[in-house]
């Protein structure tokens, strides 16, 4: 089964067509990367998937239900591009707050803190955490309702390579437990960490496939090169 099915999605923002006619699918139980330069429409697409973006037309099905259905609130975790956690609250306090907002028992908090390896920082105010630790607090908040699908908008932006690696290891562990992931990034070197890719450019799907598929198809050695070659082919066709 597909976690997400999108057919002829059309989205306007501020009177401008951002996604003219987008169709793609996201498989269950794997990590799908949504890759594209800044301004290509990643956040707009993600907002539509999680049901906070008005769409003009097209079909958008998430876990078998229309995007934005109330049942999806607990099944889909969403971490925005600039995660909002409360700097003056501790890790535990933040998560207790998010648990109450999500209608999840407070008793779920210790387990998600362990999942994101923040046990040592339970009583630490978020203001004293590093960027990577903060990113993990937001992720923990999204994990509270035990979602089946996690949608993460550029979760590793601004993190150093070691922290990025740690976060990707965590995503892969969660995916092994059966959680489906859609992760956006504008950094092509992250594409290789995904099992499936959707390359976006100017609101259109430029290509989809596994990283090896895209390398083979474009006869390139890096995904960065593959992306450039696909753009060149599009421009000349």
Ligand X SMILES: Nc1ncnc2c1ncn2[C@@H]1O[C@H](COP(=O)(O)OP(=O)(O)O)[C@@H](O)[C@H]1O
Smallest distance, Å, CB 78 to Mg ion? 13
> Which of 5, 24, 27 shows the shortest CA–CA distance to 179?
27
Q: What's the sign of the alpha-carbon dihedral 154, 159, 161, 163?
A: negative
Residue 138 lies near Mg ion (rule: CB under 5 A): no
Selection from Mg ion, ligand X, none that 16 binds (CB < 5 to 8 A by kind) is ligand X
Helix axes 161-176, 131-143, angle to 10 degrees: 20
| Complex with ligand X: residue 11 or 91, whichever CB lies closer | 11
- Residue 236 three-state SS: helix
Residue 38 lies near ligand X (rule: CB under 6 A): yes
Q: Which of 9, 26, 33, 41 binds ligand X (CB under 6 A)?
A: 41
Instruction: Give, as ranges, the residues between 135 and 194 that touch ligand X (CB under 6 A).
Output: none
| Complex with Mg ion: residue 43 or 156, whichever CB lies closer | 43
d(CA 97, CA 114): 17
Selection from ligand X, Mg ion, none that 73 binds (CB < 5 to 8 A by kind) is none
Selection from Mg ion, ligand X, none that 39 binds (CB < 5 to 8 A by kind) is ligand X
Q: What's the sign of the alpha-carbon dihedral 121, 124, 125, 128?
A: negative
Q: Which position's Cβ is nearest ligand X? A: 14
The C-alpha angle 183, 184, 190, rounded to 5 degrees, equals 85
Q: Which of 4, 26, 36, 51 binds ligand X (CB under 6 A)?
A: 36
Q: Which of 2, 5, 10, 13 binds ligand X (CB under 6 A)?
A: 13
| Complex with Mg ion: residue 95 or 154, whichever CB lies closer | 154
| Complex with ligand X: residue 42 or 148, whichever CB lies closer | 42
Instruction: Give, as ranges, the residues between 29 and 58 that touch Mg ion (CB under 5 A).
Output: 42-43
Output Rg (C-alpha) for the chain, integer angstroms.
Answer: 18
Question: In terms of C-beta distances under 8 Å and separation of at least 24 residues, what long-range contacts does 67-70 make, across chains too?
Answer: none
Q: Which of 3, 22, 35, 44 binds ligand X (CB under 6 A)?
A: 44
Q: Which position's Cβ is nearest Mg ion? A: 43
Smallest distance, Å, CB 198 to ligand X? 12
Strand (E) positions, the chain?
Answer: 2-13, 16-27, 31-35, 57-62, 65-66, 76-79, 149-153, 180-185, 196-201, 204-209
d(CA 141, CA 137): 6
CA 235 remoteness from chain centre: 28
Which residues would be at the binding site for ligand X (CB under 6 A)? 13-14, 16, 18, 36, 38-44
Which residues would be at the binding site for Mg ion (CB under 5 A)? 42-43
């Amino acid at each position: 089964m597909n976690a997400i099915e999108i057919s002829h999605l059309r989205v306007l923002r501020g009177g401008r067509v951002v996604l003219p006619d987008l169709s793609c699918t996201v498989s269950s139980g794997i990590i799908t990367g949504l890759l594209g330069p800044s301004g290509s429409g990643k956040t707009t697409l993600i907002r539509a998937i999680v049901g906070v973006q008005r769409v003009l037309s097209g079909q958008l099905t998430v876990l078998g239900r229309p995007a934005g259905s109330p049942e999806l609130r607990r099944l889909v975790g969403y971490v925005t591009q600039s995660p909002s956690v409360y700097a003056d609250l501790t890790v535990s306090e933040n998560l207790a707050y998010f648990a109450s907002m999500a209608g999840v028992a407070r008793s779920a908090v210790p387990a998600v803190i362990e999942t994101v390896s923040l046990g040592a920082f339970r009583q630490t105010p978020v203001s004293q955490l590093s960027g990577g630790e903060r990113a993990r607090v937001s992720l923990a908040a999204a994990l509270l309702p035990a979602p089946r699908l996690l949608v993460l908008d550029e979760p590793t932006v601004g993190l150093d390579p070691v922290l990025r690696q740690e976060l990707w290891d965590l995503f892969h562990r969660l995916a092994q437990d059966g959680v489906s992931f859609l992760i956006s990034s504008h950094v092509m070197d992250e594409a290789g960490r995904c099992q499936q890719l959707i390359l976006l450019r100017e609101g259109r799907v430029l290509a989809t496939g596994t990283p090896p598929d895209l390398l083979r198809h474009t006869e390139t050695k890096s995904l960065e090169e593959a992306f450039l070659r696909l753009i060149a082919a599009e421009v000349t066709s």
